[in-house]
A = this chain, B = another copy of it.
Amino acid sequence: MAKKNINVGLIGYKFMGKAHSNALSKIGMFFDNSANINMKVICGRNEEWIKQSAEKYGWSEYELSWEKLVKRPDINMIDITAPSNVHKEIAIAAANEGKHIFCEKPLALTLADAREIYETAEKNKIKHQIGFNYRFAPAVLLAKKLIDDSKIGRIFHVRANFLQDWIIDPDFPLVWRLDKKVCGSGSLGDLGAHFIDMARFLAGEFSTVMAMSKTFVKSRPLSESMTGLSGKAVSIDPRSIEAGDAAPCADVEVDDGTVFVAEFKNGALGVFEATRFAQGHKNDMSIEINGELGSLKFIFERMNELQYFSAADEPGTQGFRLIQASEAIHPYMYAWWPVGHVIGYEHTFIHELYEFTESIANDKPLNPICPDFMDGVKCSQIIEAVELSCERKALVEVDSL
């Protein structure tokens, strides 16, 4: 059977652009998929950079204008990895052109914008998915399966955090990820969004939240990235690629750390923490769910492992099992290597884009494990509830927003 062509236009070419390019180029090598994925056009404003990226990442062409790209009739899927503040405009334009859209998280800077995007997508009957890639670690999907199979029963507790340590130095510049105009939020939106989605995915909908947040370093040197790309190589962290030297300072308007408690609609209690100020923690996202019959724990830095406690195990031999979730029977692992031959961060992108392109190629609904724009809306809603709670110093009902 002939594969259906999907001609992709990718907007953005940095961290996420690279991750998506890699993913799109690998799906066909590892999966028996239905789509013939053509990496057609990559799009960005800096011609020198975008040209280089096109060549390096294997795109046939490049465009400088996304407005032009979304109108090209030869493109049927738009993949948005541009900075968060342009998601809305691009997504709405692409949806109105009838393109299927994969959009990196967050869907938009505000809940209202996220809703508008969602509604536009639905109105145009396009397929849409949002980049909550952490769902696609096989260990996470195994957790989901165990929950769906009633292995842990009624859920009592959810605890999750996402801890990093890359901006503790007060001389670290105000890069775009710290710029409220670009990102809308700091650690909450960047990191918290991932565990909020995962908590919803595994444990259900949020009911209420109570939150606090802090900006520990209130002023930082402006980085060159504020006015343009420096392109300097940096030895510490690709995310700081635009870091400059001595520079005038500006106020930091986003949170460095946010903590909150929550009640879920099923009655469970949650505790959550997102921060970039936890020394020694690099990309430490973890989530644990405690239920009546068992518990599950996932730690991203050991993403091939799932911890599972079953109260049904024989008394005296109960304990958290350390599952090496890389057996062929674990989600997606049949496509990779023999058990124990671990996979990495980038594979989550391959899995999510495999699902999205399959849905397009076969014109069938998204696999239910995939987050669509409504999941983006719900995540934005919770983030806004958390922010409102910080402001009000009181409990906020999520559905009131």
Contact = CB atoms under 8 A, between A and B. Distances in A.
Interface of A: 15, 18-19, 21-22, 25-26, 28-30, 56-58, 142, 146, 151-152, 156-157, 159, 161, 163-166, 168, 208, 210-214, 216, 233-239, 256-257, 259-263, 267, 269-273, 275, 277-284, 290-295, 300-304, 306-311, 313, 315-324, 326-330, 334, 336-347, 389, 392-395
Nearest to A56: B29
A328 to B, nearest CB: 5
Contacts of A233: 334
Contacts of A304: 301, 344
Contacts of A260: 261
Contacts of A163: 290
A280 B338 contact: no
A323 B318 contact: yes
Nearest to A268: B214
Contact of A338 (B15, B26, B262, B273): B15
B328 A238 contact: yes
A302 B303 CA distance: 9
29 contacts: A18-B29, A22-B26, A151-B317, A210-B211, A210-B261, A210-B395, A212-B395, A216-B267, A235-B334, A236-B328, A238-B337, A257-B269, A259-B261, A259-B271, A275-B290, A279-B291, A279-B295, A280-B311, A281-B290, A283-B342, A300-B340, A301-B304, A301-B324, A301-B342, A306-B319, A315-B327, A319-B323, A321-B322, A394-B395
A275 B159 CA distance: 12
Contacts of A344: 304, 341-344, 347
Query: Dominant SS at the A interface?
Result: mixed
A317 B321 contact: yes
Given A159-B161, A327-B236, A278 B257 contact: no
Contacts of A267: 214, 216
Contacts of A340: 164, 281-284, 300-301
A255 B294 CA distance: 21
**Identical copies of this chain, number:** 4
A257 B342 CA distance: 23
Given A238-B328, A393-B210, A279 B292 contact: yes
A287 to B, nearest CB: 14
Nearest to A159: B273
Nearest to A280: B309
Given A29-B56, A259-B269, A345-B337, A319 B309 contact: no
B282 A324 contact: yes
A234 B344 CA distance: 23
Nearest to A395: B393
Given A214-B269, A261-B271, 18 more contacts: A15-B338, A18-B29, A29-B58, A157-B275, A163-B290, A168-B292, A214-B263, A235-B328, A238-B334, A279-B292, A280-B318, A281-B295, A282-B327, A301-B324, A301-B340, A318-B323, A319-B322, A394-B394
A174 to B, nearest CB: 18
Contacts of A292: 168, 279
Nearest to A321: B319
A13 to B, nearest CB: 12
B330 A157 contact: no
Contact of A341 (B151, B234, B283): B283
Nearest to A284: B340
Nearest to A154: B216
Among A208, A267, A393, which residue has the most Cβ atoms of chain B within 10 A?
A393
A315 B145 CA distance: 13
A133 to B, nearest CB: 11
Contacts of A309: 279-280
Given A21-B29, A295-B279, A338 B238 contact: yes
